[in-house]
Amino acid sequence: MRISIVGSGYVGTTVAACLADAGHEVVNVDIDEEVVDAINAGEAPIHEPGLDELVAAHGGDRLRATTDYGAIRDTDVTFLALPTPSNEDGSIDLSAMEAGARSVGEALAEKDDYHLVVVKSTVIPGTAEETLTPIIAEASGGTEGEDFDVASNPEFLREGSAVADFQQPDKLVFGATTERAFARLRAVYDSVVDDVPVVETGRREAEMIKYANNAFLAAKVSLINDLGNVCKEYGVDAYEVADAIGLDDRIGERFLRSGVGWGGSCFPKDVDAIRAAARAEGYEPQMLDAAVAVNDCQPERLLALLDGHVDVAGQRVAVLGLSFKPGTDDIRNSRAIPVIEGLQERGATVVAYDPVAVAEMREQFPDVAYADSAADALVDAAGAVVVTDWDEFAALDSEFDAMARPVVVDGRHVVERREGITYEGLTW
């Protein structure tokens, strides 16, 4: 098929490269000329395992990029993969989506045959139907259900394993109103996946499934963190408890790693957006409110454990790990941010280390000292906190001997409790 993808951020680029690899003719539309040039030159504009190879293989050939929305006229399907950032009150800002929909509509005004527009971005239930469809109808002069359809196809890929997640998803979710739209979505994915459950439903349902999926996972982590805090009070290892309860397949073993909490560009934004959407309808989603409240308190609990061993005012404290999870340099909503702020409020001198995310954190915290290695960060420190579960932190050993006081508070269950250090696990 001929497919256009509007937006070449994290999701747009991955989807474009994977669809090209599956044999489709793909064109990526983006306003950023540098990104467009990179794709056409066969270079991935973002870092994801496996993406470089796909963009190198197809960039400039089956995968092209352009700043011209007119390119979508030569395609059968357009995916909208534009950002939906948060407003102050947690609700989502749809302005990029609305502008994108308008440009797609204007391009379609000069197209004769039927076109399918697919919303990939995470949007509140009703957005495709009530906001985007009228914009496309007005800009194109066309009629929904005849000249075009607007479908919903949320994306569940994770940062750090985006290509693999897209190519081997747990499920596909298609929300549409006509058989023609469903058929076209099936045709897009036929060559990508094999034997994957496909949920065919309404657009509002598809939009809600995405929020429910992320909110459920975020709340699952908050629940194990809440239970983990209770475990800690009673001297119980929450990881032993999680291993046991995870054997009950109604609970499941995944997403039970307790610690300093969840961050990233999705969970915080999406949980806030669905809470704001609920409140807008007069419903207070108490479980989701609690999930956020627990998440907000974990960094302070980590620091309170450190306070129990050392008064950090005027002391060096090593912060190990800055990205929101291992395998990425993304620091958006990383738990390292409240941890650093809490240490600074206490008057500590923060020395931070991360294998890949130092440059990003330096922009936000220019006054923090950054070390070139975990070992360097630990030298003369009166305490260390582990915020990201990078594997290399598990290998630290004699490096702790260089600390002024070897107090280690682990927020991710990576460092082993051992002789010679005062070790505190956040929930174990």
Which is nearest to 120 in space by CA: 223, 5, 1, 31? 5
Would you count residue 239 as binding ligand UGA (CB under 6 A)?
Answer: no
Which span (108-116, 191-199, 250-258, 280-288) binds ligand UGA, by CB under 6 A? 250-258
47 touches ligand UGA (CB under 6 A): no
CB of residue 78 vs ligand UGA: minimum separation in angstroms?
A: 20
Nearest approach, Cβ of residue 230 and ligand UGA (Å): 17
Q: Which of 114, 156, 189, 423 binds ligand UGA (CB under 6 A)?
A: 156
Nearest residue (CB) to ligand UGA, 324 versus 393: 324
Calculate the CA 357 to chain-centre distance: 16
Query: In terms of CB distance, is 58 or 120 closer to ligand UGA?
Result: 120
Total residues at interface with ligand UGA (CB under 6 A): 21
Distance CA 231, CA 228 (A): 5
User: Distance between CA atoms of 146 and 418, rounded to whole angstroms?
Assistant: 68
**Of the residues 21, 48, 147, 159, which one makes contact with ligand UGA according to CB under 6 A:** 159
When binding is defined by CB under 6 A, the residue of 63, 185, 221, 361 that contacts ligand UGA is 221
Catalytic, 18? Answer no
Place of tokens 């006509």: 178
User: Closest CB to ligand UGA among 159 and 424?
Assistant: 159
Binding ligand UGA by CB under 6 A: which of 267, 365, 390, 400?
267
Note whether 214 binds ligand UGA by CB under 6 A: yes
Nearest to 8 by CA among 120, 108, 154, 107: 120
Of 59 and 299, the one with the shorter C-beta distance to ligand UGA is 299
- Give min distance, CB of 256 to ligand UGA, in A: 6
Percentages helix, strand, coil for the chain (3-state, rounded to 5) are: 45, 15, 40
Question: Is residue 158 near ligand UGA by the rule CB under 6 A?
Answer: yes
Closest contact distance (angstroms) between CB of 158 and ligand UGA is: 4
Is residue 152 within 8 A of residue 206, CB to CB? The reply is yes
Residues 6+ apart with CB under 8 A from 156: 165, 169, 170, 171, 210, 213
Distance of alpha carbon 294 from alpha carbon 372, whole angstroms: 33
Choose, by CB under 6 A, the member of 79, 262, 370, 428 that binds ligand UGA: 262
Left (φ > 0), alpha (ψ -120 to 50) or beta: where does 42 sit? left
Distance CA(240)–CA(426), nearest Å, equals 14
Q: Restricting to residues 278-337, name those near ligand UGA by CB under 6 A.
A: 324-325
Contact 306, 385 (CB under 8 A): yes
* Stretch 354-393: interaction string toward ligand UGA, x if CB under 6 A: ----------------------------------------
Per-residue tokens: 283 = 């419903």
Q: Which is nearer to ligand UGA, 5 or 266 (CB)?
A: 266
* Separation CA 280–CA 120 (nearest Å): 23
Minimum CB distance to ligand UGA smaller for 225 or for 315: 225
CA pair distance 13, 163, nearest whole angstrom: 10
Would you say 55 or 273 has its CB closer to ligand UGA? 273
Run of H or E including 4: strand 2-6
18, 231, 266, 297: the catalytic one is 266
Shortest Å distance, C-beta 157 to ligand UGA? 5
> How far is residue 382's CA from residue 317's CA, in Å, rounded to a whole number?
6
Compute CA distances 277 → 188, 229, 268, whole Å.
Answer: 31, 30, 14
Residues catalogued as catalytic = 266
Q: By the criterion CB under 6 A, which residues form the site for ligand UGA?
A: 155-159, 214, 217, 221, 255-257, 259, 261-264, 266-267, 270, 324-325
